[in-house]
Each structure stands twice: as structure tokens, then as C-alpha cells.
């Protein structure tokens, strides 16, 4: 059996079968179980290495050919696949608690399979086409069949589509740069084209206006999954570019542009988030600020660049899943999630409110929570390069902290005669409890991520030299 078949074709087929054959309740368990199994296989069985189990020899071959294109997953991809499918399992198990199980799990599995294909395809520029296919598959996940798409969904698909030609055209020009590295005009043109493509993919300021709109128009849990999955694979795609093209990672102007974009996104996301009075829009701006932190990590001139990127990426999936699940539970009682609608809900939904606030504080980099170690590592490296950038990043995270305090204040505004209740189901309380426990464990014991962080830099050999 080949690795691409196991981690791309198999989950895609499973997603299609779940859509047509399984009920809503069973789809959450089946989809989560499939993801857990794939994560464990990636963690325990090395790719392209023969294992002898009794008289049976097992070997997962690394590559497969499809329509003239090669899809290849190496041994170094194992920890990354384990992280991706492990976090995906967390999202899928949470779908029953958010009442979005059936179509979410099936389409989610197919989206993860396509995104995995984007990091396996050779030539790797075809990843832009696969990312576009995954973006199109996100639309039916966000919008029911009988509902017209809102402005946020339309802008999302337009921006994702605009990114594709820029990246493909820049890839064609990069081949010319490799052939004649002294051609300054070609280098500038390819750099500009590549920057435009990734600006649309990353939703760099001011191209992120669709994210807060999307959080108002669509289910929070589905949108949270989108805000986790696509940026995660876009970051891996960007790391691949930096690893393959020496002139990209050695050009100070490009590193400065990436760093500046990250600073702008983190600062504006945090400041705008502090000014919002809608819980969904606050989550959207927090996701923008965290995407800015990923860009900051990509712009660092450090040998620890890859470690810092993945130290930010791994807790991000846990934080967003807990936050989005809590928000989807609260939305059933307090549509449309304005501060005036959620006053006093801390006494009626204590578990959901507590989980939401803890996830929010983790994104803001509060000590002893999952987001703190990555922020600390990022600040240590950033302070050496630019104190001004460090100040604006601090300002953005301070804005997120202010938004968390304002959110908590809205939740606890209740009359003295209000009684404490627990309206979450046991499934919802259990899922939120597991997520909150994970946030505390990753914050107090970040060394549990070390086995993954020590293996992931092998994917990008030139960036860690």
C-alpha cells in the first residue's frame, strides 16, 4: 500500500461514503475514528521502511502516480500527518456536540485529504490548484443547499481563486530565476507575483475583511474549521517555497515584507477585536491575529524558524476547536451573538462560557495556557530583530486580552436572582472539558510537543541549516 493512497485517497473515499450512507450521529464517531487510526499509523509505522510482524512484512511505499503527477509522502512527513489527522479527529468528534455532524464530517474528511495532497504533489506548484479545489469544497460546508451565500462566502472564494494564477505564474517565473539568478528584473517580478498570491491565501491586511463577515453569516464550528485548516496548509506550502528557493530565504527585503505583514495582521486583528461587540467577529479577528503570528514566524531570520512555526500551529487547532464549539453551543440560545444577547449566560452555560474564555485567553498568550510558549519563543527571536515590531505585536495581543475581559464581563452580567444552571449536554461538557484540559497541559508541559517538533524540521532541510 502506498502512503498517498492511505492518507489521501482513503479518507477522501471515506468522506464520500459517510455523506451518503451514515446517519448524523454515527458519522461523527466513524470520521473521528478514521482520523485517529490514520494519525496512529503515521506516528507508529514509518513510511518506506519494511516492518516484520511475525511472518508478515509490512511496507508503506512513499509515492504514487496519478494523471502524470507524482504524489509522494516521505518518512519525514509522518509526524506532520499524525498532527494533522490527530487535530482533525478532535474537530470531527466535536461535531455531534455542535449538531453539525453529517455533512461536516464527510466534507471535512475530503477537505483534509485534498489539503494533504497539496503537500504531497510533485511538481509542488500544483498545490495551488489543489488548495483551490479544497476552498471550493468548503463552500457547501458553510452554506446549506437552500440558502444563498452571503458576502463573506463570496469574498472568500473570490480571494482564494485570485491567489491561484498569481502563484502559478510566479512558479513559472521562478524557474527562470533559477536558470539566470543574476536577472534582477525577473527576480523582482516573480517576488511581487508570489507576494500577491500568498497575500490572498493568507488574507493579509486589508484582504481579511471576509473573515469577520463569515463569522456573522455562517455556523461558528464550520467557519472555525476553515480558519484552522486552510491557513495551516498554506503555511506548510509557504515553508516549501522558502525551502526550495535559496534566493527567497536569503533576500532581506522578502523577509522584512513577511515580517511587516505579520506585524500589521497581529496588531490590527487584536485592536479591531478589542472594539467588537459580536462574539463571532471577535473570534474572526483573533484568528487573523494568530495568522499574523504565523507570518511573523515565517519572517524570522533564525534557525529555529520551523520549530516556532509548528509550536504555534499545533496549539492553534486545539484553541480554535474549543472556541468554535463553545460559540456554537451558545449561539443556539443567543443568536446573533451580540454582547446584549449573551448577558447572564455564564449562569446558564457555565462550561461553554468557561471554555470559550480559556480558549480566548490562550490565543492572547496568557501564561500557563497552550498559546503562551509559542508567543514567548516568538518574542525572544523578534526582540533581537526589531523592538518596534515587538511593541506592535504586544499591542495586538493586549487587544485580544481586552476583548477576552469584555467578553467575560458581558457573560457575567446577570441579576442577583438568576440561578446557576447547566444546560450543556454531557457530550458537550465532555468535549469542552477535554479541550480545556489539553489547553492547560500544552501550556504547563509544552515539552510533550518535543517529539513532533524535533522531527518536523526534517521536512525543510535548507531552512534549518
What stretches in the chain show pLDDT beneath 70?
23-25, 52-57, 101-102, 175-186, 415, 463-465
Q: Note the pLDDT of residue 206.
A: 85
Task: Give CA–CA dist 300/308, Å, rounded.
Answer: 9
Question: How many beta carbons lie within 10 A of that of residue 248, not counting itself?
Answer: 20
Q: 139: buried, middle or exposed (CB in 10 Å: 19+, 13-18, 0-12)?
A: middle
State the sign of the Cα–Cα–Cα–Cα dihedral 399, 400, 404, 406. Answer: positive
Among 364, 229, 342, CA closest to 283: 364
List pLDDT tens digits, range 201-236.
888 888 888 999 999 888 899 899 999 999 898 888
336 upstream amide cis, omega within 30 of 0: yes
Assign 61 to helix, strand or coil: strand
Taking the CB of residue 56, how many other CB atoms lie within 10 A of it? Answer: 7
User: Helix or strand or coil: residue 122?
Assistant: strand
CA dist 71 and 79 (Å) reads: 18
Count of CB atoms situated within 10 Å of the CB of 433: 15
CA 128-147-94 angle, to 5 degrees, is 65
Which whole-number Å values give the CA distances from 35 to 55, 109, 141, 147, 271, in the listed order?
28, 8, 18, 30, 37
Q: What is the pLDDT of residues 247-293, one digit of tens each?
A: 777 777 888 888 999 999 999 999 999 999 999 999 999 999 999 99
Q: Which residues of 209-246 are buried (b: 16+ CB within 10 A; e: fewer)?
A: bbbbbbbbbbbbbbbbbbbbbbbbbbbbbbbbbbbebe
Nearest to 363, CA basis, from 285, 453, 445, 278: 285
Amino acid at each position: 500500500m502506498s502512503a498517498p493512497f492511505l492518507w489521501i485517497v482513503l479518507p477522501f473515499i471515506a468522506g464520500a461514503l459517510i455523506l451518503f450512507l451514515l446517519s448524523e450521529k454515527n458519522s461523527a464517531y466513524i470520521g473521528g475514528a478514521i482520523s485517529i487510526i490514520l494519525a496512529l499509523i503515521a506516528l507508529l509505522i514509518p513510511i518506506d521502511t519494511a516492518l516484520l510482524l511475525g511472518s508478515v512484512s509490512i511496507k508503506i511505499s512513499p509515492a504514487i502516480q496519478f494523471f502524470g503527477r507524482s504524489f509522494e509522502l516521505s518518512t519525514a512527513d509522518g509526524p506532520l500527518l499524525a498532527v494533522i489527522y490527530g487535530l482533525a479527529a478532535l474537530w470531527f468528534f466535536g461535531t455531534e456536540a455542535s449538531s453539525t455532524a453529517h455533512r461536516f464530517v464527510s466534507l471535512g474528511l475530503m477537505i483534509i485529504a485534498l489539503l494533504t495532497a497539496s503537500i504531497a504533489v510533485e511538481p509542488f506548484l500544483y498545490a495551488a490548484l489543489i488548495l483551490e479545489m479544497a476552498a471550493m469544497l468548503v463552500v457547501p460546508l458553510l452554506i446549506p443547499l437552500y440558502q444563498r451565500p452571503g458576502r463573506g462566502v463570496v469574498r472568500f472564494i473570490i480571494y482564494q481563486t485570485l491567489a491561484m494564477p498569481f502563484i502559478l505564474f510566479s512558479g513559472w517565473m521562478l524557474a527562470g530565476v533559477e536558470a539566470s539568478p543574476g536577472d534582477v528584473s525577473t527576480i523582482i517580478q516573480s517576488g511581487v507575483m508570489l507576494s500577491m498570491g500568498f497575500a490572498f491565501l493568507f488574507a493579509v491586511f486589508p484582504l481579511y475583511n471576509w473573515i469577520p463577515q463569515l463569522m456573522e453569516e455562517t455556523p461558528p464550528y464550520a467557519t472555525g474549521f476553515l480558519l484552522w485548516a486552510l491557513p495551516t496548509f498554506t503555511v506548510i506550502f509557504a515553508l516549501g517555497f522558502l525551502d526550495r528557493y535559496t534566493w527567497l530565504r536569503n533576500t532581506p527585503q522578502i523577509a522584512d515584507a513577511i515580517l511587516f505583514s505579520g506585524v500589521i495582521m497581529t496588531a490590527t486583528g487584536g485592536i479591531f477585536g478589542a472594539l467588537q461587540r459580536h462574539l463571532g467577529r471577535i473570534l474572526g479577528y483573533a484568528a487573523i491575529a494568530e495568522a499574523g503570528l504565523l507570518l511573523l514566524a515565517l519572517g524570522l531570520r533564525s534557525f529555529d524558524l520551523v520549530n516556532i512555526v509548528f509550536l504555534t500551529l499545533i496549539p492553534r487547532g486545539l484553541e480554535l476547536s474549543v472556541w468554535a464549539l463553545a460559540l456554537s453551543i451558545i449561539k443556539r440560545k443567543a443568536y446573533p451573538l451580540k454582547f446584549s444577547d449573551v448577558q447572564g449566560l455564564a449562569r446558564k452555560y457555565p462550561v461553554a462560557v468557561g471554555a470559550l474564555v480559556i480558549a480566548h485567553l490562550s490565543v492572547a498568550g496568557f501564561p500557563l495556557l497552550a498559546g503562551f510558549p509559542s508567543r514567548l519563543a516568538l518574542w525572544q527571536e523578534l526582540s533581537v530583530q526589531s523592538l518596534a515590531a515587538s511593541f506592535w505585536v504586544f499591542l495586538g495581543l493586549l487587544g485580544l486580552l481586552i476583548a477576552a475581559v469584555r467578553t467575560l464581563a458581558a457573560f457575567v452580567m446577570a441579576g442577583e436572582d438568576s440561578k446557576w444552571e447547566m444546560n450543556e449536554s454531557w457530550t458537550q461538557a465532555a468535549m469542552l472539558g477535554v479541550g480545556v484540559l489539553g489547553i492547560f497541559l500544552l501550556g504547563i508541559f509544552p515539552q510533550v510537543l518535543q517529539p513532533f517538533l524535533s522531527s518536523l524540521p526534517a521536512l525543510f532541510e535548507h531552512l534549518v541549516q
